[in-house]
């Protein structure tokens, strides 16, 4: 059974400490790591925002957030111990004259311990906050800064953020976080490939027909209208989550599990992504925007209704892309990427579809294709679909059934979620699950090229009804290749 190894005492300052990310993810994650004995009692957690809450007010906010996340497992006795390490300092990060002395007093004067600055704020504040941290003399050698996605809105703005943050923190002090990389099944990709001779010899164009990566959401804007309409599905999801999953699926074996070894191989994948020209963009991509429909058995508004915009919007809420990694291993293998809001269900999957048997001896209508399906949410699992004989008389019937590894069934103990794992890696200084600046910029370079092709070809989003799986064109894109989107059951 896995054992939780405590980290060394640390300080963490959460800028945007009263925001949604802090309440839903960061504070509950830290409390759960406390419950499992990973956080020493002489650590310090400091929330920071503009509101004048004080320690008592912030502890109340934190308790409500952690109790809601814990549900029936709430432990009031442990909370009473945990809240003693929680503090609050009011700082307006946009005010150059703000007094940072109070924050400095909250932190341990011994700078040998890790000092984490988590920027749970709008990305346009990243550089200003980092410069203020540097000016206040808080960026010691053991300091780390955590940047949430999105890092910029294009290549130019991403470079500006990276350059500005780099004025204060070295590259090894910068942790660019994508919570998808903290999921157990995502990390299991490398173990499946590189620790099992069953898969690695087959992991190329010689045996794989295509790869599908889907991140589907059944919710709409959920209070993110202003941000989302400036971003869209391509910038919000493809540039980070989906491209990260593609990198881990397609990367070459690293020399070892060192952080720079892994990240270097991921960058090679991004640099090998073929650009999609304006002539090909309508064949290799689909843009969609949801209209009114039914979601979860209830009426759902369309995007423009949720947006409440009198001028309309051509922001895409759905993207499908046929991408190609142009290298020796993957030449000719399409990677189909798909993400959207208000789809029929919430699920995230990576589907590796192997080539069919070279000669089918069982007759027409028999599926001789194997699939490795890695489900990231809502139920983490790995399923290898193989063909077996269906029992019973009356002839030979072949059926595709999965060899199933369900995390919920195989591992009965509660294990850390993505943010819990990543926060502990930040404290330890382990960069392997975080993005290097070249990685972020390479992803933006490819996305910017795709956006330019959309604009050049005047590609407007196609309508799809809420509660469906996107525009018909997304299904047709695969149908032209003699393929279809994977749907279990």
> What does the pLDDT look like over 286-302, one tens digit per residue?
999 999 999 988 999 99
Alpha helices (H) along 36-182 = 54-70, 76-82, 101-106, 126-135, 155-166
pLDDT at res. 269: 97
pLDDT at res. 224: 80
Is the pLDDT at 412 greater than 60? The verdict is no
**Residues identified as active-site:** 241
Is the pLDDT at 96 greater than 80? The verdict is no
Report the 10 Å Cβ neighbour count for 395.
7
Q: How confident is the model at residue 390 (pLDDT cuts 50, 70, 90)?
A: confident
pLDDT at res. 169: 97
Is the pLDDT at 101 greater than 80? The verdict is yes
pLDDT at res. 409: 64
Q: How confident is the model at residue 168 (pLDDT cuts 50, 70, 90)?
A: very high
pLDDT at res. 193: 87
pLDDT at res. 265: 95
pLDDT at res. 125: 94
pLDDT in tens, 45-80: 999 999 888 999 999 999 999 999 988 889 999 999
pLDDT at res. 19: 92
Is the pLDDT at 1 greater than 80? The verdict is no
Is the pLDDT at 308 greater than 80? The verdict is no
**Range 435-446 average pLDDT:** 96
**Range 214-229 average pLDDT:** 89
Half-sphere exposure (Cβ direction) of 251: Cα atoms closer than 13 Å: 25
pLDDT at res. 86: 96
Share of the chain above pLDDT 70, in %: 94
Angstrom distance (rounded) from CA 162 to CA 145: 12
Residue with more model confidence, 399 or 437:
437
Angle between helices 418-428 and 27-35 (to 10 degrees): 80
Q: How confident is the model at residue 446 (pLDDT cuts 50, 70, 90)?
A: very high
pLDDT at res. 376: 87
Q: What is the pTM of this model?
A: 0.92
Mean pLDDT of the chain: 90
Closest CA to 271 of 452, 154, 156, 441: 441
Q: What are phi and psi of 260, to 5 degrees?
A: -70, -30
Do 63 and 27 touch, CB atoms closer than 8 A?
no
**CA 226 → CA 210, 308, 312, 482, distances in Å?**
36, 11, 13, 39
* Vertex 176: Cα angle to 161 and 453 (nearest 5): 65
Least confident of 178-192, 251-265, 392-406: 392-406
DSSP per-residue string spanning 393-434: SSS-EEEEEEEEEEHHHH--S----HHHHHHHHHHHT--TTS
Angstrom distance (rounded) from CA 387 to CA 260: 40
Is the pLDDT at 254 greater than 60? The verdict is yes
pLDDT at res. 240: 93
Q: How confident is the model at residue 427 (pLDDT cuts 50, 70, 90)?
A: very high
Q: How confident is the model at residue 414 (pLDDT cuts 50, 70, 90)?
A: low
pLDDT at res. 408: 59
Angstrom distance (rounded) from CA 82 to CA 64: 14
Least confident of 202-216, 252-266, 351-365, 409-423: 409-423
**Range 178-188 average pLDDT:** 84
| Cα torsion angle, 133, 134, 138, 139, sign | positive
**Range 94-104 average pLDDT:** 83
Is the pLDDT at 150 greater than 70? The verdict is yes
pLDDT at res. 478: 97
Residue with more model confidence, 111 or 149:
149
pLDDT at res. 401: 73
**Range 309-328 average pLDDT:** 91
- 99-127 b/e (C-beta count within 10 Å ≥ 16 → b): ebeebeebbeeeeebbbbbbbbbebeebb
């Amino acid at each position: 059974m896995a054992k939780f190894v405590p980290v060394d005492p640390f300080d963490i300052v959460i800028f945007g400490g009263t925001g949604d990310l802090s309440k839903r993810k960061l504070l509950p994650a830290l409390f759960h790591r406390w419950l499992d004995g990973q956080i020493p009692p002489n650590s310090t957690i400091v929330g920071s925002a503009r509101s004048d809450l004080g320690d008592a007010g912030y502890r109340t906010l934190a308790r409500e957030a952690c109790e809601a996340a814990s549900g029936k497992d709430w432990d009031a006795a442990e909370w009473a111990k945990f809240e003693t390490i929680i503090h609050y300092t009011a700082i307006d990060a946009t005010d150059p004259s703000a007094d940072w002395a109070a924050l400095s007093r909250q932190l341990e004067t011994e700078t040998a311990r890790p000092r984490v600055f988590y920027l749970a704020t709008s990305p346009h504040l990243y550089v200003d906050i980092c410069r203020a941290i540097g000016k206040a003399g808080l960026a010691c050698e053991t300091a780390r800064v955590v940047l949430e996605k999105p890092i910029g809105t294009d290549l130019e703005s991403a470079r500006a953020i990276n350059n500005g943050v780099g004025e204060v923190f070295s590259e090894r002090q910068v942790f660019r976080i994508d919570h998808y990389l903290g999921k157990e099944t995502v990390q299991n990709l490398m173990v499946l490939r590189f620790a099992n001779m069953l898969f690695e010899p087959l992991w190329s164009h010689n045996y794989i027909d295509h790869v599908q990566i889907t991140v589907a959401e059944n919710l709409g804007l959920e209070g993110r209208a202003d941000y989302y309409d400036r971003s869209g599905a391509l910038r919000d999801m493809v540039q980070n989550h989906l491209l990260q999953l593609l990198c881990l699926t397609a990367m070459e074996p690293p020399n070892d599990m060192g952080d720079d070894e892994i990240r270097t191989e991921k960058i090679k994948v991004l640099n090998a992504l073929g650009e999609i020209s304006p002539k090909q963009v309508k064949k290799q991509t689909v843009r969609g925007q949801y209209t009114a429909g039914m979601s979860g058995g209830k009426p759902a508004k369309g995007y423009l209704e949720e947006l409440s915009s009198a001028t309309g919007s051509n922001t895409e809420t759905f993207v499908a892309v046929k991408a190609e990694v142009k290298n020796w291993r993957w030449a000719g293998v399409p990677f189909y990427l798909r993400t959207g809001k208000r789809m029929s269900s919430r699920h995230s999957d990576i589907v590796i579809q192997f080539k069919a048997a070279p000669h089918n001896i069982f007759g027409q209508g028999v599926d001789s294709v194997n699939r490795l399906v890695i489900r990231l949410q809502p139920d983490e699992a790995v399923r290898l679909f193989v063909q077996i004989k269906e029992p019973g008389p009356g002839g030979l019937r072949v059926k595709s059934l999965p060899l199933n590894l369900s995390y919920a069934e195989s591992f009965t103990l509660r294990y850390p979620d993505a943010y819990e794992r990543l926060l502990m890696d930040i404290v330890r200084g382990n960069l392997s699950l975080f993005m290097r600046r070249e990685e972020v910029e390479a992803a933006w370079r490819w996305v910017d090229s795709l956006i330019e092709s959309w604009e050049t070809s005047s590609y407007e989003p196609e309508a799809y009804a809420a509660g469906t799986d996107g525009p018909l064109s997304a299904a047709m894109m695969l149908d032209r290749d003699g393929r279809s989107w994977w749907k279990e059951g």
